[in-house]
Structure 1
């Protein structure tokens, strides 16, 4: 019995039909910023205590991954990127209690200890002990020459298998297709989480969502779920605004070249501005645009990861006299382990249209082409089928 193609348990002498140890996997590795990912065989360690080995089924392509490839976000190389992932549990380490071999699971880059001050306050994405949760006595991945290969967020999902701590995983019902389930790990947890947890949108609120990619579309759906009475989609691509209306936006604003014009358009649609503006792009200009869209006492929730060293400029008088707020919501301030059940129920009930968010499914061998096509205005989420060979 074998794991992913090219990865056999026999090399380790373990095949009891319950625990399948994968010793070597094919991974798409970032070696040089600005260059395509390179496929190579990578050795993966056995699960330690409280760790789980997962055979990867599907991975979503996120703009955060693209930012690392382009050097807009810093990461040491070589590294395996990828974090929006669904897969099947292959084997479990000592002490694992929440999942069994054969379960379908989804992963998060924000595992939480559940015991620190932030976790106890219901803010697991700000866990103060996350580094300790991820800590292990030896590297997870290395090349055949013994050199270490890093993994983004402790996951490294652009590989045929991942080795992660149990606290990074949530079991998802197998009735949820893997190409949909993987979205729970990032764009859905960030976009819907930003509305439900970060902004705490209510039925009497008005909402502007800036950026209509995967996270923005999820935020629009989250605002619709929360009952927001008006949802204004803002993007620089007219075709993305058409897509946004299909997912629940009530109004659309073409950002164009002038942030001031976009702000004016929002204020014309909703006199005085909106109660909540959610930024899902990752640029200083769009974060400042979010603030400009606000009514007095409104709140701008910033989701997009910006280049290292970025800073925002906002008018002090509008901040103070208008009681406006700017806040971050890393990964949407989600509560991953409980949110997955919420996402699943809303998806199965037809209230979250996640099937339509998956606009392309590509083979693992075509992952670099998938990143190149992310600028397509009709693209919401490209998902990589990891079960085939490369």
Structure 2
């Protein structure tokens, strides 16, 4: 199969012929249909986060089940599925206490000594984030995918695998926004726009979007933001506090920068909560001042929207099919696998929302 292989950080991906293994117990072979190009992949491509090489990035994907291994119960051949990087074992402390997105149990991967799932000639390929989706086929654990309605357009479905699960999940799961509460979203890429849209669905009162790009601010307003502000303005945080008469109940950071995380804390009202979604540079820290603590402010992470994806993704599909979740607006471009490096260049410029790699 054709796949986009990363041999070394800070180098372009190369389209190579890769061999994918046959599914064994609890594994699913998926013919890839669409993959979103997420900034999380760029962190690995540009070397900000380490990973074994060579590898195939890509984690925001959907496809059609081609084959299944023994003991697979959740999907069958022919099912349309969305994949999710937070594969879960179903048995560890995190899984049995309802925090499936935090599971890192090794049982979702092949055991040491077993044949690799992916090979380039006689060289094993390190599977990235349990998926490696920039390829014509994916071989994953059955708990890394979920069947969806076949009427769901596949290029939109791919976004559910990360951007929407993370952004909407931050609203529905991590923060549990109550109708009428105020929300500020810092950063209007795919994840931030999903958070804006979800805040509208959740019945939030004022929804304020911060981003330096005018087109993204306009898009946020289309998706439900009641106000939008240039994030680079020296008075941005003060404007949010003024609009909400004291600050927001929930601030969601979707950029991955220390300054944007600090802004998320600054716009909170007393007792408010800041949720950090962006992947900040390793070694960076975000904190609360003594006065923030005395004001009852809270700071938390929200990995992958605190998802329970076997339940969450079909619900998000339903939101889209009923016209509540707007995925069409978020997609900026569709391109073939051969243009994956162009897609990453667009991400680096920072003026686009979501590109989607499509397979015929």
| Bucket of the pairwise TM-score, normalised by the shorter protein | over 0.9
The aligned counterpart of 1:306 is: 280
TM-score (norm. length: structure 2):
0.96
Question: Of residues 96, 110, 116 in structure 2, which corresponds to 1:139?
Answer: 116
Q: Structure 1: any 5+ residue segments left out of the alignment?
A: 1-24
Task: Please report how far the alpha carbon of residue 135 of structure 1 lies from its aligned counterpart in structure 2 after TM superposition.
Answer: 3.5
Q: Aligned with 1:184: secondary structure?
A: helix
Question: Of residues 61, 66, 70 in structure 2, which corresponds to 1:90?
Answer: 66
Give the CA RMSD over aligned residues: 1.3
Q: Quickly say closer, same or farther: Cα 1:102–1:133, change in 2 above 3 A.
A: same
The aligned counterpart of 1:275 is: 249
The aligned counterpart of 2:297 is: 324
Q: Using the alignment, how far apart are the partners of 2:297 and 2:106 within structure 1?
A: 33
Question: Of residues 32, 44, 49 in structure 2, which corresponds to 1:68?
Answer: 44
Larger radius of gyration: 1
Q: Residue deviations 1:215-261, cap 9 Å, x none?
A: 00000011011100110001122221111101100001111164xx2
Question: Of residues 368, 371, 375 in structure 1, which corresponds to 2:344?
Answer: 371
Q: Using the alignment, how far apart are the partners of 1:205 and 1:164 within structure 2?
A: 39
- Does 2:56 align with 1:80? yes
Q: Residue deviations 1:132-187, cap 9 Å, x none?
A: 2223323111111x111112111100111010000001001110011011111000
Q: Using the alignment, how far apart are the partners of 1:377 and 1:36 within structure 2?
A: 18
Q: Structure 2: any 5+ residue segments left out of the alignment?
A: none
Matches within 5 A, 1:15-164: 25-127=1-103, 129-136=104-111, 137-144=114-121, 146-164=122-140
Q: Using the alignment, how far apart are the partners of 1:317 and 1:135 within structure 2?
A: 48
Question: Of residues 250, 253, 270 in structure 1, which corresponds to 2:229?
Answer: 253
Task: Please report how far the alpha carbon of residue 130 of structure 1 lies from its aligned counterpart in structure 2 after TM superposition.
Answer: 2.6
Larger CA deviation: 130-139 vs 109-118: 130-139
Q: Using the alignment, how far apart are the partners of 1:195 and 1:175 within structure 2?
A: 26
Question: Of residues 230, 233, 238 in structure 1, which corresponds to 2:206?
Answer: 230
Runs of 4+ in 1 over 3 A off after TM superposition: 375-378
For the 8 Å contact 2:87–2:130, the answer to whether it is kept is no
Task: Please report how far the alpha carbon of residue 121 of structure 1 lies from its aligned counterpart in structure 2 after TM superposition.
Answer: 2.2
Q: Using the alignment, how far apart are the partners of 2:304 and 2:226 within structure 1?
A: 25
Q: Using the alignment, how far apart are the partners of 1:91 and 1:124 within structure 2?
A: 25
Question: Of residues 306, 310, 317 in structure 2, which corresponds to 1:344?
Answer: 317
The aligned counterpart of 1:355 is: 328
Q: Using the alignment, how far apart are the partners of 2:147 and 2:351 within structure 1?
A: 31
Aligned residues: 358
The aligned counterpart of 1:13 is: none
Q: Using the alignment, how far apart are the partners of 2:284 and 2:306 within structure 1?
A: 21
TM-score (norm. length: structure 1):
0.89
Task: Please report how far the alpha carbon of residue 308 of structure 1 lies from its aligned counterpart in structure 2 after TM superposition.
Answer: 1.5
Task: Please report how far the alpha carbon of residue 269 of structure 1 lies from its aligned counterpart in structure 2 after TM superposition.
Answer: 1.0
Q: Residue deviations 1:19-70, cap 9 Å, x none?
A: xxxxxx1110111211110111111111010100001010000001111111
For the 8 Å contact 1:125–1:335, the answer to whether it is kept is yes
Q: Using the alignment, how far apart are the partners of 2:150 and 2:354 within structure 1?
A: 21
For the 8 Å contact 2:287–2:299, the answer to whether it is kept is no
Q: Using the alignment, how far apart are the partners of 1:26 and 1:241 within structure 2?
A: 37
For the 8 Å contact 2:219–2:329, the answer to whether it is kept is no
